[in-house]
């Protein structure tokens, strides 16, 4: 990771996009401006919309490849290279990150001058002829990212153009909390460091089907979309417990899966 990261306020284009996406998802055309986006989009909902992808241009997502997993006396430091296939070579972009435990109003800017080569590899400089077609480089020009993470912790990244007309997002979960059976997958992501709020994702279930979620205290149905996906939010502390382990199960479409997530003070432990 090059340079010293800094925090900047969330700009209006990203805030407006999240607000509009929420309203479109819930009730048709957007009825709210960027000024009311903070009220309209909860923290968890903003995270879900980010995970879905900005898709500007359509179908674009960031890809990640692990470069290093450095063990030491403390938690591992993970290092990844990033690819943005839909970005244009020669155009300067801004690379920023959103970490769990911070508000969406504050993004960590990792680079204000990020570039890609023909393979989409992020670089700290405009690619020279010898760098233009490389999948990986060991000359110090890669714009990689380094961080520590706990189990189930997502780190969200965005690569955007200076005018915000290009916005390519990606969510990286180095240590997933997930279960899979047949084509079905159930996963849980931390929405805050102590796990007092969790994002539950279903993938690969039958499309347009009802699936039952059960957290041990109550069960509720969720409906999958045309791609067999669904999402929900769990708040373990709502039951009155200040700490413990939440076990979430999903049953439907011939699949029965469960995952367990510790929550409460002291549960956040980077690996």
How high is the pLDDT of residue 8? 47
Decide: 171 and 149 in contact? Cβ < 8 Å.
Answer: no
Kindly provide the residue ranges of all beta strands, DSSP E only, lying in the chain, ordered along the sequence: 6-9, 63-70, 77-83, 93-99, 106-116, 122-123, 145-147, 155-161, 167-172, 177-181, 184-190, 198-203, 210-214, 219-223, 230-234, 243-252, 255-264
pLDDT of residue 266: 94
Q: What is the pTM of this model?
A: 0.87
Structure confidence at residue 33 (pLDDT):
29
pLDDT of 108 reads 94
Is the domain covering 177-264 a CATH 2.60.40 domain?
A: yes
Regions in the chain scoring below 70 on pLDDT: 1-41
Neighbours of 266 (CB within 10 A): 8
> Could you check whether the bond before residue 81 is cis, i.e. omega within 30 degrees of 0?
no
* Residue ranges of domains in the chain: 6-172, 177-264
């Amino acid at each position: 990771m090059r340079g010293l990261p800094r925090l900047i306020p969330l700009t209006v284009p990203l805030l407006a996009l999240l607000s509009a996406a929420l309203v479109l998802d819930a009730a048709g055309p957007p009825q709210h401006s960027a000024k009311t986006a903070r009220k309209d989009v909860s923290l968890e909902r903003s995270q879900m919309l980010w995970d879905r992808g900005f898709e500007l241009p359509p179908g674009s997502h960031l890809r990640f490849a692990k470069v290093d997993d450095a063990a030491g006396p403390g938690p591992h430091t993970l290092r990844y290279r990033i690819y943005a296939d839909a970005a244009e070579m020669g155009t300067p972009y801004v690379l920023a990150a959103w970490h769990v435990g911070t508000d969406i109003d504050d993004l960590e800017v990792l680079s204000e001058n990020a570039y890609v080569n023909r393979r989409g590899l992020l670089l700290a400089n405009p690619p020279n002829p010898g760098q233009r077609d490389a999948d990986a480089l060991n000359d110090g020009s890669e714009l990689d990212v380094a961080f520590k993470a706990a189990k189930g912790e997502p780190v969200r990244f965005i690569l955007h153009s200076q005018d915000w007309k290009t916005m390519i997002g990606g969510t990286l979960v180095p240590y997933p909390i997930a279960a899979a059976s047949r084509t079905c997958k159930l996963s849980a992501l931390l929405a805050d460091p102590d796990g007092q709020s969790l994002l539950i994702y279903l993938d690969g279930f039958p499309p347009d089907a009802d699936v039952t979620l059960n957290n041990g205290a109550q069960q509720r149905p969720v409906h999958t979309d045309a791609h067999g996906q669904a999402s929900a939010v769990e708040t373990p502390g709502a039951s009155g417990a200040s700490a413990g382990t939440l076990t979430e199960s999903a049953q439907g479409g011939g699949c029965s899966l469960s995952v367990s997530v510790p929550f409460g003070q002291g549960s956040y432990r980077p690996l």
